[in-house]
Amino acid sequence: MPSTPDVKNELVRIPVPHAGERIAELATILRLAGGLHTISGRIALEAELHTPAIVQRVRKDLAEIYGVRSDAKQMPAASTRPGAPQFVVRVLDGETLARQLGLLDQRRRPIRGLPNRLTTGAPGELAGVWRGAFLARGSVTPPGRSASLEVVCPTNETAMALVGAAGRLGISAKSREIRGQHKVLIRDGEAIGEMLGTMGATAARTEWEELRKARETRNTANRLVNFDDANLRRSAQASVAACARVERALEILGDDIPEHLLYAGELRLSHRDASLDELGARADPVLTKDAVAGRIRRLLAMADKVADERRIPNTEASLPDELDSL
């Protein structure tokens, strides 16, 4: 079953040959996991990350693409809660880098969403955006009733930008504010598999699809079993009801019963669990299902009419109290 660490471990090992895709991934990681701070009059860029492998990937991209030296340190255990980022990557003189990445506008103001050139880029760059978002603040829950792939975003604008990027990739995602956090959610099991594959987590996607199909098969089997049980229960109830009414009909009519209707009633009582098809096959001569049903229906109607004339309980009065309504 693909877990969040498994997916991130697979994504962080993916080689990305195209610079545009690497930049899209890096910019998104720094936007979702980081922030811009002023230190001694200079703009510093920081990003809080979860694993050493992600830290190494970010620092490598900074050095190879932009020639920027970065510092990394592990945060004290006492200052972090379980599941929170454990490492910090910092670029002290980060204004030029922030401008190059599109994280600052022309007036030196931090952007609210994601750089527009990334969310309107080629499919490979859009995949890089989502890969970076997942590495920074993504998580996945297993296939099931509450299966989801989600990304926590710093602002609503960032969430909407991710939703738009997913839409351009042909994958439906939604933005929600949950307990004060802006999240992008993908709930559909098939769409989650597509996004895993689009980001590059092919092994996780294969495992996800196998689990999803196995669960769907199991759910279908359970529905069929429940359906069969319900049919059997209704059939048994119908048989009990029919036999109770036939017994009452014979009591009401006594000897004043046409022979062919009496035969059908006695056939019903002799084989209480048999279906109408089986009753017809047991008759001599053989009768059709409709013929048996018609004779029993006329027998009950005749008995109910006589009961009404005599003002005595009819055939339905003999139904057991615990019998479900049919």
Q: What is the pLDDT of residues 193-220, one digit of tens each?
A: 999 999 999 999 898 888 877 776 665 6
What value does the mean pLDDT of the chain take?
85
Tell whether the model's pLDDT for residue 252 goes beyond 60.
yes
For 246, the token pair is 């036939």
| Percent of the chain scoring above 70 in pLDDT | 90
Identify the three-state secondary structure at position 21: helix
Neighbours of 99 (CB within 10 A): 14
Q: Report the Cα–Cα distance between both ends of the chain, in Å, rounded.
A: 45
Q: Are 257 and 247 in contact (CB under 8 A)?
A: no
d(CA 53, CA 45) in angstroms, rounded, equals 19
Sheet containing 87-91, strands listed edge to edge, beginning at the edge strand earlier in sequence: 34-39, 42-49, 87-91, 71-74
Half-sphere exposure of residue 297: CA atoms within 13 angstroms, side-chain side:
7
Q: What is the pLDDT confidence band of residue 325, given thresholds at 50, 70 and 90?
A: very low
For 232, the token pair is 């059997």
Residue 38's H or E segment, with its range, is strand 34-39
d(CA 272, CA 283) in angstroms, rounded, equals 14
d(CA 231, CA 191) in angstroms, rounded, equals 35
Cβ density class 58-70: b for 16+ within 10 Å, e for less:
bbebbeeebebeb
Identify the three-state secondary structure at position 177: strand
pLDDT tens for each residue of 215-251: 766 656 565 556 556 666 676 777 788 888 888 888 8
Candidates 120, 216, 113; CA nearest to 158 is: 113
Tell whether the model's pLDDT for residue 264 goes beyond 80.
yes
pLDDT tens for each residue of 121-137: 899 999 999 999 999 99
Place of tokens 């990681």: 29
> At a CB cut-off of 8 Å and minimum separation 6, what does 226 contact?
none
Work out the average pLDDT over 88-107: 86
Sign for the CA dihedral angle at 209, 181, 168, 136 comes to: negative
Q: Decide: pTM greater than 0.85.
A: no
Candidates 266, 21, 253, 259; CA nearest to 123 is: 21
d(CA 326, CA 323) in angstroms, rounded, equals 8
pLDDT tens for each residue of 17-62: 899 999 999 999 999 998 887 777 788 888 999 999 999 999 999 9
Residue 93's H or E segment, with its range, is none
> At a CB cut-off of 8 Å and minimum separation 6, what does 322 contact?
none
d(CA 37, CA 43) in angstroms, rounded, equals 6
Q: What is the pLDDT confidence band of residue 324, given thresholds at 50, 70 and 90?
A: very low
Query: Dihedral through CA 150, CA 151, CA 156, CA 162, nearest 10?
Result: -90
Determine the residue type at 306.
Answer: V
Q: What beta strand segments (E) does 42-93 contain?
A: 42-49, 71-74, 87-91
d(CA 97, CA 91) in angstroms, rounded, equals 9
Neighbours of 160 (CB within 10 A): 18
d(CA 199, CA 124) in angstroms, rounded, equals 9
Strands 148-153 and 174-178, by their bridges, are: unpaired
